[in-house]
A and B are shown apart, each in its own frame.
Chain A
Amino acid sequence: MSEQTKSVKVLVSLHQPEQTNLKNYIIGFIASLALTLIAYFITQYHTSGGRTLLFWALSVLALSQFLIQLFFFLHVGREFPPRYKLMITSFMILVVLILVGGSLWIMHSLDGRVMPTTQQMIKYMNSQDNL
């Protein structure tokens, strides 16, 4: 086989539409199902203690399911280089983290700085004669 034929074959295989296969969907579905059910049952039957632990456990479960569906259902990271889809997805994750993390940080900080407690509010209202 000449070099040219070989490179043509490689090029053609690179440009075939990403073939999805049944096996990946089944793996993705079973894994997502398991993670959803685990998250549901640990929340439904949790005892009053250990809420922080449960919070982190649920976060980890959601993130793993997110990555599983991204990989097995949406085929992110399974394309040939250059991986534009993976790049733009990573950028999206960064934007979402900045947006959500930033909003929560700012609002939490504002809450601590300017929101008076109920006691402070009552004291203030009592100090104002015309209120």
Chain B
Amino acid sequence: MSSISQNAEVARADRLIERHEKDNTTIFGFWVYLMTDCVLFASLFATFAVLRNNTFGGPSGATLFSLPYVLVETLSLLTSSFTCGLALVSAQARRKTQTIIWFIITFALGLTFLSLELSEFHKFVVMGDSWRRSGFLSAYFTLVGTHGLHISIGLLWMAVMIVFIYKRGINKLTMKRIRMLSMFWHFLDVVWIFIFTIVYLFGALHA
């Protein structure tokens, strides 16, 4: 190989590396944000764990929660996390329509999860078991509500992202954002594993 083509190759590699490192820094920064978000959830989990038995004569988790209902919620969120991964795989293969379809499915599953959660909250409040009832319920609504708020923000972001991909196609900029959105969505599913186990399953054990 001649030295000219070698130098051209070195220059090309340099450009590639520089551009890629800039994108990677943004994505890494977003990961750092997600990790600090864990501290917020950890404090809420600690609060919940401390207050879980302080029902003040009100209902405990075992009497309040319906496990089959929560299982449906969990499965829809888990499946949405998977379809979000499929959207990322399609985006990396530069398949625009396929990416949009997977994101729409993810959005629909996420919306299903959110409406199930909100109707559960509504049911509790109507029965008089709102956050005012006891320390346990305050901690429950704060923890699960904060997760639900994250889900709502994620859904808003996803709706914007779908329009963005539709208008601009898949390029370096959209790709970067798709990667961050998928990280955010998978992260919310990871947090839900612990809500499912600690709030709902452990709650059923304390019957």
Which A residues have a C-beta under 8 Å from some C-beta of B? 1-2, 4-5, 8, 11-12, 15-17, 19-22, 25, 28-29, 32-33, 36, 39-40, 43-44, 46, 51, 54-55, 58-59, 61-62, 65-66, 69-70, 73-74, 84-85, 88-89, 91-92, 95-96, 99-100, 103-104, 107
Tell whether B118 is near chain A: CB-to-CB under 8 Å. Answer: no
Tell whether B187 is near chain A: CB-to-CB under 8 Å. Answer: yes
Asked if A33 and B78 sit within 8 Å, CB to CB, the answer is yes
Tell whether B20 is near chain A: CB-to-CB under 8 Å. Answer: yes
6 tightest A-B CB contacts, nearest first: A103-B46, A25-B85, A62-B197, A29-B82, A92-B35, A73-B186
**In the complex, given contacts A43-B201, A69-B193, A85-B28, what are 19 additional A-B residue pairs having Cβ atoms less than 8 angstroms apart?**
A1-B1, A2-B6, A4-B6, A19-B92, A21-B89, A22-B89, A33-B75, A43-B205, A44-B68, A54-B205, A55-B205, A73-B81, A88-B31, A91-B35, A92-B35, A95-B39, A96-B42, A100-B42, A100-B46
Asked if A96 and B38 sit within 8 Å, CB to CB, the answer is yes
Q: What B residues does A99 contact at CB under 8 A?
A: 39, 42-43, 46
Closest residue of chain B to A17, judged by CB?
A: B20
Q: What A residues does B20 contact at CB under 8 A?
A: 15-17
Which B residues have a C-beta under 8 Å from some C-beta of A? 1, 6, 9-10, 13, 16-17, 20-21, 23-24, 28, 31-32, 35, 38-39, 42-43, 45-47, 49-50, 67-68, 71, 74-75, 78-79, 81-82, 85-86, 88-89, 92, 175, 179, 183, 186-187, 189-190, 193-194, 196-198, 201-202, 204-205
Q: What A residues does B38 contact at CB under 8 A?
A: 92, 95-96
Asked if A36 and B67 sit within 8 Å, CB to CB, the answer is no
Asked if A51 and B67 sit within 8 Å, CB to CB, the answer is no
Asked if B35 and A11 sit within 8 Å, CB to CB, the answer is no
**In whole angstroms, how far apart are the Cα atoms of A91 and B82 in the complex?**
26
**In whole angstroms, how far apart are the Cα atoms of A66 and B186 in the complex?**
11
Among the listed A15, A19, A66, which residue makes an inter-chain contact with B194, where contact means beta carbons less than 8 Å apart?
A66
